[in-house]
Amino acid sequence: MNQYVTGTMIRTLREKQGLTQAELAEKLFVSDKAVSKWENGKGYPDISLLEGIAGVFGVSVTELLSGKAVENVNVSGNMLRSKFYVCPVCGNAIHSMGEASIHCHGVLLAPQEAERTDEKHMVFIEGVEDEYFVRIDHDMTKAHYISFMAAVSPDRLQMVKLYPEGNAEARFKTGSVKRIYYYCNRDGLFYTDVHRMIDGKDASYDRTAERKELEDAAKMIFG
């Protein structure tokens, strides 16, 4: 690991807890001079102390090492604030409902920045009874593929893992789905908003022919 807890982090958390250097030292069974050295960048706490330090401040060891304490400012956890993290080493996809400090294979992951769908990642959504059938016009080779799709509602998330040489498609329960996310292993995270019954037709209306026309038109325009 190429990161270690910093003196600035210790000072920030100590002051937030309203502790003096002496009080922190007493809780950790070290001298106040040791705490002073840490905060002034003249030394580092022994690795055996990390769990104790994290426990005093009410954070995880991972947060302590990342240099960023994570605060849950939205206890209700609105799923529409979802963030997705993807490991560049193994492709592991991780979801959170807010700020998080996430590591995989020793790498501190940054949340993916979602972009609106573009002409290279055309998405087609068809309402079939109580489901959305979602298909993406995209190759699914071992080198270039859609890794996952996710349908997000205010209170839930449905996530489907996809694999190379499979189909770039998935089915989701309609419910109150507001947004569809999907991840391309080369181009990153994309999204499209779902406008249910925007055409005034019943949700069970068969849009197959209509979607086929849109697909043909898209192919003529974008090749």
Greater confidence, 160 or 4? Answer: 160
Amino acid at 81: R
Q: What percent of the chain has pLDDT over 90?
A: 40
Map tokens 């560049």 to a residue.
88
> What confidence score (pLDDT) does residue 69 get?
56
State the pLDDT confidence band at 168, using cuts at 50, 70 and 90. Answer: very high
More confident residue, 51 or 80: 51
Domain ranges within the chain, ordered by starting residue = 7-66, 115-222
What average pLDDT does the chain have?
A: 82
pLDDT of residue 24: 94
Per CATH, the number for 7-66 is 1.10.260.40
The topology under which CATH files domain 115-222 is Immunoglobulin-like (2.60.40)
Task: Output 72 or 13, whichever has higher pLDDT.
Answer: 13
Range with lowest mean pLDDT among 97-101, 147-151, 199-203: 199-203
Ordered DSSP codes for the chain: ------HHHHHHHHHHHT--HHHHHHHHTS-HHHHHHHHTTS----GGGHHHHHHHHT--HHHHHHT-------TT--GGG-EEEE-TTT--EEEESS---EEETTEEEPPP--EE--TTSEEEEEEETTEEEEEEE----SSS-EEEEEEE-SS-EEEEE--TTS-SEEEEE-TT--EEEEEETTTEEEEEE--TTTTS--TT---HHHHHHHHHHHHHHH-
User: What is the pLDDT at residue 133?
Assistant: 94
Query: How many residues does the structure list for the chain?
Result: 223
For 124, the token pair is: 């087609």
Supply the pLDDT for residue 213. 65
pLDDT for 195 equals 72
pLDDT of the residue at 217: 65
Q: What is the mean pLDDT of residues 1-14?
A: 76
Higher pLDDT: 149 or 79? It is 149
- Whether residue 158 is predicted with pLDDT greater than 60 in this model: the reply is yes
Q: What is the pTM of this model?
A: 0.58
> For residues 22 and 8, what is the distance between their CA atoms, to the nearest angstrom?
17
**Which pLDDT belongs to residue 2?**
41
**Backbone phi and psi for residue 56, each to the nearest 5 degrees, phi listed first:** -60, -40
Confidence at residue 215, expressed as pLDDT on a 0 to 100 scale: 63
Mean pLDDT of 52-60: 86
pLDDT in tens, 182-213: 999 999 999 999 875 433 343 333 455 555 56
- 4 vs 46: CA distance, rounded Å: 10
Tokens representing residue 119 in the block:
């002409």
pLDDT value at position 222? 56
Worst-scoring range by mean pLDDT, 31-45, 52-66, 209-223? 209-223
Question: What is residue 198's predicted lDDT score, i.e. its pLDDT?
Answer: 38
DSSP per residue over 44-87, as a string?
---GGGHHHHHHHHT--HHHHHHT-------TT--GGG-EEEE-
